[in-house]
Amino acid sequence: MTAELRETTIPSDKDYVLLAIETSCDETSVAVVRNGREVLSNVISSQIETHKKFGGVVPEIASRKHVETMTIIIEEAVREAGVNLAEVDAIAVTQGPGLIGALLVGVVAAKSLAMALDVPLIGTHHIAGHIYANHLIGDIVYPAIALVVSGGHTEIVLLEAEGKFRIIGRTRDDAVGEAYDKVARALKFPYPGGPHVDKLAQEATEEVVLPRSWLEPDSYDFSFSGLKSAVLAEINRSRMKGETPDFSALARGFQQSVIDVVTGKAIRAAKEFGARQMLLCGGVAANRGLRERLSSLCEEAGVPLLIPPNKLCTDNAAMIAAAADLKWRRGQFSSLDMKAEAIMSLEEWSV
């Protein structure tokens, strides 16, 4: 534990175990985490053998898929952690934002466990989870800037102190992950095509230079739909002239534009708010081009950068435990009539 514990109502000299559940979208995940940072298990549906039992790999979008895998994954996480359910001190669960039917499955499972074990329930914000995945790998120094880049989210979040979230920039149309997947569609890759575009861009020798969408000079918001249109227009232009579009040069041009804008704004935010640390998080943090550029920009600016390993960047329950730990240490619990929230404010979830 690193932070000031002024509001702590829970004895901090005793080991504690949180069991966390995440079902906000595609993945069913359950983790067991000791003392807020030590991951004892972190089981994610798409990464285990459960699929075989249900005949093939299918997206976990449908609530029924979450229901089918939920109990198996809870059992697996508890077994792998080597703990007894009776040792669990609190149940954390993603309350929102996300797909309501998917969230509900996790929330109902979490409430049932909390009630059966007679331990507190901690409703947790999904994006706080992505950000606090960084706390599983290192100490966070405040103020910090978090760059959240995932399938469904692209946000710059200022953390002036532990657990205090302020969104200073967000996407006005596509999230970075969505922009990647849509460009991948235009380049004829199957869904989800983001990683294909990253790979193609890395291998490219040429670059079709595409516009940068900086928006208003002082804005930390993003917009990627114009860039998507530019890629499509370029493909059309080549075809009209009877040429074959150079997909790798286009992938490179697209990637360079996204990376310039995303890292440029994050660094500007770090400077403006005097950040002592940069946190990269979300599924798109796996993108090599993005990691490399942000690393070099942070080094230049003298701002230490944390990037969790890929398994903690994509949706997983260990990150939910890491965020829930903020509330656990302050004794801020949810009641059993807590509702899953498709829309949920990160700022209001602050400690």
Partner 1 sequence: MLIQSNHNGGTPAEYALEVKSEQDTVAFARAIAELAFPGTVLAVDGDLGAGKTRFAQAFADALGVKDIVNSPTYTIIKEYEGADLPFYHMDVYRLSLEEADELGLDEYFLGEGATLVEWASLIEPILPPERMHIRIETTGAESRMVVCRPVGEIYENWCAQLKLRPILKGEGTA
The residues that touch partner 1, with contacts defined as CB under 8 A, are: 25, 58-59, 61-65, 97-101, 150-152, 170-175, 177-178, 181-182, 185-186, 191-192, 225, 228-229, 232-233, 342-343
Q: How far apart are CA 154 and CA 224, in angstroms?
A: 10
Query: Least separation, in Å, of the C-beta of 64 and partner 1?
Result: 5
- Is the distance from CB of 127 to CB of 279 less than 8 angstroms? no
Query: Least separation, in Å, of the C-beta of 228 and partner 1?
Result: 6
3-state secondary structure of 44: strand
Query: Least separation, in Å, of the C-beta of 154 and partner 1?
Result: 9
For partner 1, the closer of residues 43 and 186 by Cβ is 186
For partner 1, the closer of residues 172 and 268 by Cβ is 172
For partner 1, the closer of residues 58 and 116 by Cβ is 58
Query: Least separation, in Å, of the C-beta of 350 and partner 1?
Result: 19
Query: Least separation, in Å, of the C-beta of 17 and partner 1?
Result: 31
Query: Least separation, in Å, of the C-beta of 85 and partner 1?
Result: 30
For partner 1, the closer of residues 176 and 200 by Cβ is 176
331 C-beta neighbours (distance < 10 Å), count: 11
Query: Least separation, in Å, of the C-beta of 323 and partner 1?
Result: 19
Residues 6 or more apart in contact with residue 70 via CB below 8 angstroms:
21, 23, 28, 105, 106, 109
Which strands, in side-by-side order, build the sheet including 17-22?
Answer: 38-44, 29-34, 17-22, 90-96, 121-125
Q: How far apart are CA 111 and CA 247, in angstroms?
A: 49
Residues 6 or more apart in contact with residue 88 via CB below 8 angstroms:
17, 18, 19, 32, 113, 117, 119
3-state secondary structure of 177: helix
For partner 1, the closer of residues 59 and 274 by Cβ is 59
For partner 1, the closer of residues 174 and 198 by Cβ is 174
- Burial status of residue 63 (CB atoms within 10 A of its CB: 0-12, 13-18, 19 or more): middle
Q: What is the DSSP letter of 309?
A: -
For partner 1, the closer of residues 163 and 194 by Cβ is 194
Query: Least separation, in Å, of the C-beta of 241 and partner 1?
Result: 16
The pair of structure tokens assigned to 225 is: 């739909």
Q: Count of alpha carbons within 13 Å of 218, Cβ hemisphere only?
A: 1
Q: Count of alpha carbons within 13 Å of 241, Cβ hemisphere only?
A: 8
Query: Least separation, in Å, of the C-beta of 104 and partner 1?
Result: 11
For partner 1, the closer of residues 73 and 284 by Cβ is 284
For partner 1, the closer of residues 90 and 187 by Cβ is 187
Q: How far apart are CA 285 and CA 198, in angstroms?
A: 12
Q: How far apart are CA 280 and CA 134, in angstroms?
A: 8
